[in-house]
Structures are given as structure tokens and as C-alpha cells.
Structure 1
Amino acid sequence: MTDFAALKRRFHLPEGVIYLDGNSLGPMPVAVPEHMAHVLRNEWAEELIRGWNTAGWYTQPARVGDRIGRLLGASEGSVVMGDTLSVKVHQALAAALAMRPERKVILSDNGNFPSDLYIAQGIAGMLGRGHELRTPAPEDVEAAITDEVAVLMLTEVDYRTGRKHDMKRLTEKAHAHGVLTVWDLAHSAGALPVDLAAAGADFAVGCTYKFLNGGPGSPAFIYVAPQHQEQAAVALSGWMGHTAPFAFSPDYVPGEGIARMRVGTPPVLGLSALEPALDIWEEVDMQELRTRSIELGELFIREVEARCPELRLASPRDGTARGSQVSFRFEDGYAAMQALIDRGVIGDFRMPDIMRFGLTPLYIDEDDVRRAVDVIEDVMSNRLWDTPQYKARKAVT
């Protein structure tokens, strides 16, 4: 059984803060500073360039990838780390399109994260072969899967509302029409159980700085189903993805299996900061995490709706239909969120009017939820948000 009270003590949570923004950036595990001090002093400082061999830096992307793969129902050797999520989206989508050269439609939804849509638009324009991106409403995606679609590219959990797509059902329909799937797990990995193999996913990508608590800018991952690995085209053919990088051949030959999805020099320090967070996940039962996440979400919704009628629920009411976040709409949501942050309740804002709250059982409990709603009620009922100070937009919202 997962001991959530013990796990909460594994994170550094600033005094006086209720942190409801782990869906944007997870808090720091308390083991990170000591671990990073070891990496800096004993590996980088002492080993210097030898660290690629003696400290295992070179194999770190595959080793850490396998650890994340275990959280995603992925077989060993099907996940590798490196680069940013945008790079990994580009790799996965380009590889999938190359496997369906006769088809020209990329299907997503109009609630997908803009970066994913930008990348799809960019690839379609770069190819110059008449590809088009279609973005129906999320609830209309299933009906839009037809024989002319090349790739279905979706984020499983909507970044604004937390609405959850049914990965298995949509993947099955996609395959029935000869469509390949690319799943973005940015708001799924570490938030809910994922089983890529059971769902039949072809490609998947995700970041590690949200629910996986790897730190700001921590590296992304890419999954390629085992049956596709040897035929997956490499759109970004960097030297670390070469079959023999240190032969320094002038001609690119893709590496074997998932290794071909490596690009450049791996971010050793970022991967090293992620590893203590993954140690915590060794003690988590994902089904228990999901149950507790839904319970916290239901409590939060009940309390907010009972005390803050100005806020309108934007997330699905059914806990099984959303990820590990709850969002409310409010016309002056940006200002209200700034007022909350000033009073120690940290969530975030997404355009046009979404106040977003992450409910992560690893470090949030029922008492945190109730105390957070006390503050939300005070801010809303007393219009504490209604000042020029809180309405002035910052660079990062």
C-alpha cells in the first residue's frame, strides 16, 4: 500500500505554501541537492571527460528511459530520454508520417497544446506535399478518424481542463483505419496509470518536469512501439542516434531500436536531477495514486462550488474523465490567481479564463485542499483580486 503521508515528506514544500501547480512544475524532492552535489563533486569535478564511461553518462538516456517506461506500461528498450518535448513531438510525428506516405491528414483536436499544433503545421509546410492538419473539437475526434488520416496526434489529458481522451478506444479505431497514433503524455505521466503496450500506442512522448518532478527544463522522453523501431524514420539525425557515433562516419546510419531517437549530447545534469524523483516512484502504486487523485478532485470541486459560486467548473465532473487537475472559469481569472499566489495558494492561469489547480497525491492531502479553498473563498468573496497590481500581466502566467 502506498504511504502518501511518508511520500509527502520526500518533497521540499516551502513553509506557508499550498502547492497546486505540480501540473506545470513539480516541487523538488528533498534528495535532489545531495544527489546533485555528488554528481557535481564526484563525477563532473573529479572524473571530467572520463565520466561518460566511469559515471555512466553515455548510457543514462536509455537507463532513465527504462525507469520511466515502467510507469507507462512500456517494454524495456522502448523509451529513451533527451532534448525537449517539442523535439520529441517533432521526431514522433515525422516518423509516423513517413510510415504513411500515401496519406496527407494529421488529425488532432482544437484543445491540444499549441506547441504540438505548431509542430504539425511546421512539418506539413516543410514537407510541401499537401499535408493538412485537422483539429475538430475533442469530443468529435473519434468520428473524424477515417481512411484518409495518416496520424492521430493527441494529448491524452487536456492542458486547460484536464479532459481525458480514451487512449485505448481511439487507438483501436485509428488502427482499424490504418492510422498511426502519437500520444503526448505531458499531463499523464505520473498523474494516472498509463499502459502504452495494452493500448497499442505507436508513438508517445512526454516531459518530466510536471508530475514526474524532474525540475525546470528536465529532459523529455519518446516511446516507439517495438514493432516500429527498425522502420521508424529519423527526422533529426544527430550523432548520438548513429549506429556507431564514435566511428565519426560522414554518413548517417540509424542506430538500432530506440537508440536511433537519440539526437545530441544528453543533458547529464538534468537527467541526474530527475533520478531521485524516480526513486520516489518506486514506492507508488499507480492505481492507488489514481484513486486518491480522484478523491482529492471531488473534494476540491465540492468545496469550491459550495463556497465560491463565481467560479464555474471547466473540468469534467466525472473524476474518471479527467486527469489530476481541476479547472474553473472566471472572467478575471488571471487577477484572482495572482491574489491566491500572493496568499500562498499556488495554481496557474490559462487563457482565456481558466484557473487551473493540480491535485497531486504525492504531496497534497485533504487538509491542504480545505485550507486552499479557505483562501480561495476569502479572495473571491472579498474581491481581493480586484486591484491593478493583480491585473498587470507577467511574462509567465
Structure 2
Amino acid sequence: MSELAAKAGALDAADELAGARKRFVLDDAVVYLDGNSLGALPANVPGRVEDVVRRQWGELRIRSWDESGWWDAPERIGDRIAPLVGAAPGQIVVGDSTSVNVFKAVVAAVRMANPIAGEAVRDEILVDATTFPTDGYIAESAARMTGCSLRPVTPEQVPDALSGRTAAVLLNHVDYRTGRLHDLPSLTAAVHAAGAYAVWDLCHSAGALPVGLDEHGVDLAIGCTYKYLNGGPGSPAYLYVRHDLQDRFDSPLPGWNSHADPFGMRGEFEPAAGALRGRVGTPDILSMLALEAALEVWDGVSIEAVRAKSLALTDFFLECVGAYVPEGRVESVTPVAHAERGSQVALRCEGAGDVMKALIERGVVGDFRRPDVLRFGFTPLYVGFADVERAARVLADVLADVLGERLPEAARTQAARR
């Protein structure tokens, strides 16, 4: 057994979150490092979904809106997510996709920044230039709709780019390509100092690290639930609206579900009170209740413990890669500093697409981003240190095979001792 394999065993033995792994459906023959794209299936979800389909829908039918709690599911599940992102109850509503919620949040932020109709004093939106493409597309559409100009800047450029024209700033908490963690507290403070509104995309941070929405005064936030929250493919996203902004939140997508009297069927729209203003149409009950079941894996788990393990896992992965992979074969584009790292490691390498395909064939599942980035996501609830050591070892073997060069003697000897 190699020294790193032995170290992995010791770290797993001391891991306070190790027991959470049994809450998921996993194949021990596979190292799953793609939870930053799609989280693993929580073991209790299939039974819950069967109950929703067979009993709640099949037997109770329409009665389930009241008797099974379908109607208030968006707020109830929002309150389950709230502690994971540092929010008090009553500020998060679940529903729609991340893209739809980005649109609601950005347009609403511009409207709050220009409270007098027809007087767009603040007519510029700043958007993270490194953002996931959809956020950029939505921001551009929101800018056209509100008569604003759109200015892409990197998060580091935001403080200098802010001005009296800035209405809203849309930023990603963690860069989806590199895993870089941006400074939410200081950037939010800078946006507020300029009199603008901060909108944060939490897709790659919620469930992986503390966010502190209330603590840092974030105005609006959105995020998906199918990554580190393990809600399932296409599970509904969520929208956070800070308590003191809720009476001014003017959604560009008013629907009957966000009406103060949804069953009154009145011709004129009157927004509901609180976070309910973020609702639009009929909730997607099947996926929403699957998400609610999935969130039970967080019972008794602190986000601080998750963050500590996340950093330990990514540190150990980088250590193993450094030991097993010949120098110069890969380059980490994920920051070394803990304060700047999310819960993934991105490695740049030649032939990354072929390398990832070979990794998956050998039981190590990550993903690939063009043109040359391998992404490995570390979900602390079900990824262990032995998984990490194995992934790095297989990566070294794959690189040697795919790129046609064998490992140096020292690395071969160490791998042979596993």
C-alpha cells in the first residue's frame, strides 16, 4: 500500500461525515466526482416519489393540494434550503429554472433601483464576464427589456466598474469552469456602497460551503438544486429575496400563483406578500417533492463541517495528483488558497476530452469543459479520501496511456504498491 493510500484510509477513519455516504445510491466500483453537475441519488427519494405518484396523485388526486401540502411546497422547501445558504425562513421560494429566476431577479433589481416609472436614472447592468453562458444571455435580455446597457466585467473589476449609473450586478459565487470562489461579502458591500443591487448565482456553492446571504446583506440570489443539493435532473431552482426588499420586489413574470388572491381570478394583478411574489405558475410537484425528500440527507449535517471536508478533499486530490502525475502533464486552474476555492478542482491538460472519456471508462466520473479542462467536483456527503486517491492514480494511468508516455519509475513504483 502506498503512503497516500494509507493516508486516505486514516482520513476516512477520522471523517465525521463518512456515515452520510449510506444515505445515497452509489456504486462502489465508481468514483463519482461530477456532483457539481448532477448530485447522486439520495436513497430515500425513490420511495417518496412512488408515494407522491401512487397515493398523493393516484388516490388523493386534487385533494393533495391541501391534504398532502402541495400548495405551500415552494415556501416549505425554500425554508429547508435556507439554512444551507445562511438565510432566515420566509425569504426563499422554490420553483422554475435557474434561468427563469435569474431573469426575475435582475429585472426586479433594475426596477428597485429606478423606483419612479419612466425615470431610468440607473441604466447599466454589470454582469460577470466569466459567467455560465445562460446568465449572460438572460442579463442581455433583461437589459434590453429595461432599457439598460449591459457591461461584462470580471468579479475583480466590479469595484472599479461601479458608478451612479449601475442598477444591478449579477455575479457567480463560484466560477463553473475553474472552481474559483469569489468574495461575496466585499463585492456585495461595494455594490451597496454604489447604491446598486447585488444578485448572486449560487449554483456552484449552495450545499458545498457557507454562503451567508443574511449576514452579508445580499439583496437577491438564485441557484439550482441538482448539484450539491442532490435534487435530481432538472429539479426546480430557488429565488432568495431579502426580507426588507420583499414589498418592493416587482417580478417581471407575475402569475396566478404570485397573486395575493390566486383563486379570486381577478383581472388586475395584486402581488402576494413576502417571498411568494417570486412564484409564477403551478408548482412542478413531482420534481419539487423529490427535492424535498433529497434535502433530508442534510438532517444533522452542518455546512461548516461540509466546507472543512471539501477543502480537505480538494487539498488531498491536489497532493495525490502532484505525486502521481508527471510534472507538466496537467495544470490546476483552481486557486490554491482556501478563501478562493469552491468544491471542485479544474485541471487543464492536452487532449482533455479523450482523457475524461478514458477516465469514465475506468470508473472515475468527472466532466470536461472545452477546450482543455477536466473538472472534478467533490461532494463531501458521499466522496471519501480513498475515492480521491484512486481518482488521482487512475488519472495518472490514463494520461500515460492516452498521451503515449509512461509514468517515471518513482511514480510507477508508488502506484504498484497500492
TM range (shorter): over 0.9
Aligned match of 1:372 in 364, 385, 391? 391
Q: In the alignment, is the contact (CA less than 8 A) between 1:69 and 1:76 conserved in 2?
A: yes
The equivalent of 2:78 in structure 1 is 65
Indicate conservation of the 8 Å contact 1:297/1:319, yes or no: no
Out of 192, 206, 214, which is 1:175 matched to? Answer: 192
Q: Per-residue deviation at 1:108?
A: 2.0
Aligned to 2:361: 342
Task: Please state if 1:284 is matched with 2:297.
Answer: no
Partners in 2 of 1:136 and 1:122 — Cα distance?
Answer: 17
3-state SS of paired residue (2:247) = coil
Candidates 114, 117, 122, aligned match of 1:103: 122
Shift of 1:2: 8.1
Aligned to 2:408: none
In 2, Cα distance between the equivalents of 1:114 and 1:142?
Answer: 22
Does the alignment pair 1:28 with 2:47? no
The CA deviation at 1:176 is 0.9
Q: Which runs of 5+ in 2 are unaligned?
A: 1-13, 115-120, 406-418
For normalisation by structure 1, the TM-score amounts to: 0.94
Question: Would the aligned equivalents of 1:335 and 1:385 in 2 still touch at CA under 8 Å?
Answer: no
Aligned equivalent of 1:252:
269
- 1:45 is aligned to 2:58: yes
Q: Distance in 2 between the 1:147 and 1:334 partners?
A: 45
Cα distance in 2 for residues equivalent to 1:363 and 1:331 = 30
Dislocated runs of 4+, deviation >4 Å: none
For the aligned residue pairs, the C-alpha RMSD in angstroms reads 1.5
Partner SS for 1:46: helix
CA deviation after TM superposition for structure 1 residue 36, in Å:
1.2
Query: Is the 1:239–1:263 contact (alpha carbons within 8 Å) kept by the matching residues of 2?
Result: yes
Q: Which residue of 2 aligns with 1:13?
A: 26
- TM norm structure 2: 0.89
1:360 corresponds to which of 360, 379, 395: 379
Tell me which residue corresponds to 1:230.
247
Instruction: Select the residue among 134, 137, 143 that pairs with 1:118.
Output: 137
How many pairs does the alignment contain?
A: 384
Which 10-residue stretch deviates more, 195-204 or 67-76? 67-76
Structure of greater Rg: 2
Letter in 2 for 1:353: D
Structure 1 unaligned runs (5+)?
387-397
The equivalent residue for 1:203 is: 220
Letter in 1 for 2:108: A
Question: Which residue identity is paired with 1:348?
Answer: D
Amino acid at match of 1:199: H
> Structure 2: how far apart are the matches of 1:73 and 1:154?
18
Q: SS of 2:134's equivalent?
A: helix
Query: What secondary structure, in the 3-state scheme, does the structure 2 residue paired with 1:178 have?
Result: coil
Tell me which amino acid in the other structure corresponds to 2:181: K
Once the 2 structures are TM-superposed, how far is the Cα of residue 281 of structure 1 from its aligned partner? 1.0
1:183 partner amino acid: W
Pair 1:187 & 2:204 matched:
yes
Letter of the 1:246 partner, please give it: F
CA contact (8 A) 1:298 1:319 kept: no
Paired residues of 1:182 and 1:202 also in contact (CA < 8 A): yes
Aligned 8 A contact 1:379 1:385 in 2: no
Aligned partner letter, 2:188: T
In the TM superposition, residue 307 of structure 1 has moved relative to its aligned partner by 2.3
- Report the alpha carbon displacement of residue 384 of structure 1 after superposing the two structures with TM: 6.5
Distance in 2 of aligned mates of 1:294 and 1:15: 23
Q: Residue 133 of structure 1 is aligned with which of 118, 128, 150?
A: 150
1:145 to 139, 155, 162: 162
Task: Tell me, yes or no, if the aligned pair for 2:343 and 2:378 is still in contact at 8 Å.
Answer: yes
Contact 2:78/2:94 (8 A) holds in 1 = yes
Query: What is aligned with 2:341?
Result: 322
Q: Does 1:92 align with 2:111?
A: no
Please name the residue that 1:55 is paired with: 68
**Cα deviations by residue, 1:269-309 (Å, 9 ceiling, x for unpaired):** 11111122211112211111111110110111111123223
User: In the aligned structure 2, how far is the partner of 1:177 from the partner of 1:202?
Assistant: 14
